Structure 1
Amino acid sequence: MSVIVKEIYIYPVKSLAGISLKSAKAEEMGFENDRRWMLINADNVHVTQREYPIMSQFYPEISGDKISITFQDQKHEFFISEHLQNTIESNVWEDKSDVFEVNKNTSKWFSEKLGFDCKLVKILGKGDRKHESSKTKETYNVSLADAYPYLLIGTESLDFLNEKLEKKVSILRFRPNIVVSTQNAHEEDDFDTFTIGEVSFKNIKPCGRCIMVNNDPQKGIVKKEPLKTLSKYRNVNNSVLFGTNIVSLNNGTINVGDEVVF
Structure 2
Amino acid sequence: MIMKYIVIELYLYPIKSLAGIRVVNAKAEEMGFENDRRWMLIDEENQFITQRKYPILSQFYPKIKGDKIEIGYQDLNHKFYIEENLSELIFSNVWDDECKVFEVNKTTSKWFSDALGFTCKLVKISNKGDRIHRTKKLDKTLNVSLADGYPYLLIGSKSLDLLNEKLDEKITIERFRPNILIDSHIAHEEDFFDRFQIGNVKFQNVKPCGRCVMVNNNPKTGVMLKEPLKTLSTYRKLDNSVLFGTNIMCLNEGVIAVGDFLTF
Bin for the TM-score computed over the shorter chain: over 0.9
Letter in 1 for 2:162: F
Matched residue type, 1:261: T
Mapped partners of 2:201, 2:138: distance in 1: 21
**2:79 aligned residue (61, 77, 80):** 77
2:203 to 185, 201, 204: 201
- 1:96 aligns to what? 98
The superposition leaves residues 12-48 of structure 1 with CA deviations (integer Å, 9 ceiling, x where unpaired) of 0000000000000000000000000000000000000
- The structural deviation recorded for 1:143 is 0.3
Equivalent residue runs for 1:103-122 within 5 Å: 103-122=105-124
Q: 1:157 aligns with which of 140, 149, 159?
A: 159
Shift of 1:181: 0.7
Distance 1:165 1:228 in 2: 10
- Which residue in 2 is equivalent to 1:129? 131
> How far apart, CA to CA, are the structure 2 residues paired with 1:21 and 1:226?
25
In structure 1, the gaps of 5 or more residues are none
Distance 2:75 2:119 in 1: 21
Deviation of 1:176 after TM superposition, in Å, equals: 0.1
Query: In the alignment, which of 171, 175, 178 is matched to residue 177 of structure 2?
Result: 175
* TM-score normalised by structure 2 residue count: 0.99
Matches of 2:116 and 2:191 in 1, distance apart?
Answer: 37
RMSD between aligned residues: 0.4
Gaps of 5+ in 2: none
CA distance in 2, matches of 1:216, 1:135: 31
Runs of at least 4 residues of structure 1 off by over 2 A? Answer: none
The partner residue of 1:14 within 16, 20, 36 is: 16
Shift of 1:87: 0.3
Q: Cα deviation per residue 1:109-132 (whole Å; 9 max; x = unaligned)?
A: 000001110000000011000000
Deviates more, 1:150-159 or 1:134-143: 134-143
Aligned residue among 162, 183, 186 for 1:184: 186
Q: Secondary structure at the match of 2:233?
A: helix
TM superposition shift of 1:55: 0.1
CA distance in 1, matches of 2:224, 2:143: 32
Corresponding pairs, count: 262
Shift of 1:249: 0.1
The 1-side partners of 2:16 and 2:139 are apart by 25
- Give 1:136 deviation, angstroms: 1.4
Alignment-mate amino acid for residue 95 of structure 1: D
- The equivalent of 1:251 in structure 2 is 253
* Distance in structure 2 (CA, Å) of the matches to 1:17 and 1:125: 23
Q: For 2:175 and 2:127, locate their aligned partners in 1 and report how far apart those are by CA, in whole Å.
A: 28
**Equivalent position SS for 1:243:** strand
How far has the Cα of 1:134 moved from its partner? 2.3
Separation in structure 2 between the aligned mates of residue 38 and residue 4 of structure 1, nearest angstrom: 31
State the Cα distance separating 1:80 from its structure 2 match: 0.0
